[in-house]
């Protein structure tokens, strides 16, 4: 059993150090206006780009929340870019009459071939090309936000020297166990996102709540170099901007900056979403990020391997499992306590033991499926 003891201790020690690194980064981030000076500059004009596909259930609520912002109406525009929706999304967006709303139809620019491939990067690029603002904010068509969201994002930009800012994306109130797990999973990823950015080593972000300068987007040539990867419009852009501006990536730790998305309704939709997120990992510029993802996968895989070993009639056979599983649960609990407290979701901690067990199987399965690069998303089959 000695080799298993050694492997369990080594992997557990590394996991302990990794989660501690994320936690320190999260705790270092200032909250709300603690690190903001008084904003006296003239407010900039902002272009909010909303790439959409099949969001007929959500698009008008999304636009309603944007146009309800406490930000001068003459200082922002909204650009909706429809990506070959097969439902009434395009019509509903056009019916939402606002003088500073521009609705673009990708079919007019890409023709029929574009109907069969993911076009989110092209949709955003088209939006940026038509944007009047010096500041670009991207969000998704299923998201809503509070009335101070835009002011919060812009003030944080003006108060700092960041060229790229990512802010929280939370899930709307959960109604079942799957939705609760998604909430916990998203909050944990937010903590990692914030922690690594705070530590000067950005690894993740969410395209549903990003801010960057139009000039910088053009300077790095947008998504050039990774347009062949169906997803990753957020992380790949952040990585490209970080190369030119290594200390100019920021995370806005403020509840006013949150946008709220809907959880996936069914388990197959949830799996397809996570496979889509995982599939971009092979295209990361930072090999160290790929290494961290690989380590997380192997650590969870080891825990599964230790389960049948623990059932063997051998003295101390349960120790490797106890060490690895105990370390994972302890560190995940310590990590999520301050994060769930900040996002006012502490009740999720009561379900953490159940989530932990599911998370182990989830990581191992999604890791394998993600490498295949095959999934279905919004009625498109990705191969």
| Cβ 49 vs Cβ 233: under 8 Å | no
| Average pLDDT for the chain | 90
Least confidently predicted of 100-109, 253-262, 271-280, 353-362: 271-280
Inform me whether the pLDDT recorded for 49 exceeds 80. yes
Alpha carbon distance 338, 356 (integer Å): 18
Inform me whether the pLDDT recorded for 59 exceeds 60. yes
Least confidently predicted of 107-116, 160-169, 280-289: 280-289
Cβ contacts of 146 within 8 Å, gap of 6 or more: 65, 256, 258
- Average pLDDT on 281-298 reads 80
- Average pLDDT on 205-225 reads 94
pTM beyond 0.85, yes or no: yes
Least confidently predicted of 31-35, 117-121, 167-171, 276-280: 31-35
Inform me whether the pLDDT recorded for 195 exceeds 90. yes
- Average pLDDT on 56-80 reads 96
H-assigned helices in the chain: 2-28, 59-67, 89-95, 107-110, 120-130, 149-159, 177-198, 214-219, 235-244, 267-279, 287-310, 319-342, 352-372
* Percentages (nearest 5) of helix, strand, coil residues in the chain: 55, 10, 35
Burial-class residue 158 by CB neighbours within 10 Å (0-12, 13-18, 19+). Answer: middle
Q: Which pair of structure tokens corresponds to residue 289?
A: 């990020």
Q: What is the DSSP letter of 239?
A: H
Q: Note the pLDDT of residue 291.
A: 86
In degrees, rounded to 5, the angle at the alpha carbon of residue 196 between the alpha carbons of residues 190 and 198 is 100
Bridge-based pairing of strands 249-251 and 164-166 is parallel
Q: Note the pLDDT of residue 38.
A: 47
Q: Which pair of structure tokens corresponds to residue 191?
A: 């903590």
Which of 51, 245, 65, 90 shows the shortest CA–CA distance to 164? 245
Which of 69, 28, 23 shows the shortest CA–CA distance to 46? 69
Question: In terms of pLDDT, which residue wins out, 374 or 351?
Answer: 351
Q: Note the pLDDT of residue 64.
A: 97
Q: Which pair of structure tokens corresponds to residue 148?
A: 């101070």
Q: Note the pLDDT of residue 289.
A: 80
Alpha carbon distance 52, 82 (integer Å): 5
87: confidence class by pLDDT, cuts 50, 70, 90: very high
Q: Note the pLDDT of residue 186.
A: 95
Domains along the chain?
2-25+286-371 (no CATH), 30-264 (3.90.550.10)
Alpha carbon distance 325, 305 (integer Å): 11
């Amino acid at each position: 059993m000695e080799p298993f003891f050694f492997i369990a201790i080594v992997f557990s020690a590394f996991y302990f150090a990794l989660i501690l690194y994320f936690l320190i980064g999260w705790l270092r981030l200032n909250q709300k206006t603690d690190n903001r000076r008084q904003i006296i500059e003239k407010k900039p004009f902002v272009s909010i780009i909303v790439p959409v596909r099949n969001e007929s259930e959500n698009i008008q609520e999304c636009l309603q929340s944007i146009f309800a912002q406490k930000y001068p109406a003459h200082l922002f525009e909204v650009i909706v870019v429809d990506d070959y929706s097969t439902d009434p999304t395009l019509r509903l967006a056009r019916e939402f009459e606002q003088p500073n709303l521009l609705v673009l139809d990708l079919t007019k620019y890409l023709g029929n071939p574009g109907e069969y491939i993911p076009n989110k990067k092209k949709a955003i690029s088209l939006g940026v090309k038509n944007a009047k603002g010096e500041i670009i904010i991207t969000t998704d068509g299923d998201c809503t936000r509070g009335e101070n969201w835009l002011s919060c994002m812009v003030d944080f930009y003006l108060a700092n020297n960041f060229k790229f800012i990512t802010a929280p994306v939370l899930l709307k109130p959960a109604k079942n166990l799957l939705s609760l797990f998604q909430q916990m999973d998203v909050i944990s990823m937010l903590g990692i996102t914030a922690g690594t950015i705070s530590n000067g080593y950005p690894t993740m972000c969410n395209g549903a709540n990003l801010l960057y300068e139009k000039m910088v987007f053009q300077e790095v040539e947008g998504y050039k170099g990774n347009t062949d990867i169906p997803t990753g419009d957020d992380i790949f852009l952040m990585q490209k901007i970080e190369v030119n501006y290594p200390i100019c990536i920021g995370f806005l730790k403020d509840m006013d900056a949150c946008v709220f998305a809907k959880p996936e309704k069914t388990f197959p939709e949830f799996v397809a979403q996570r496979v889509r997120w995982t599939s971009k990992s092979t295209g990361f510029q930072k090999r160290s990020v790929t290494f961290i993802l690989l380590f997380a996968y192997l650590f969870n895989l080891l825990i599964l391997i230790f389960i049948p070993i623990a059932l063997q009639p051998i003295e101390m056979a349960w120790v490797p499992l106890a060490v690895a599983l105990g370390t994972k649960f302890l560190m995940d609990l310590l990590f999520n306590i301050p994060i769930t407290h900040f996002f006012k979701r502490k009740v999720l901690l009561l379900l953490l033991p159940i989530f932990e067990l599911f998370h182990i199987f989830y990581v191992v399965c999604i890791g394998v499926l993600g490498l295949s690069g095959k999934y279905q998303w919004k009625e498109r089959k990705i191969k």
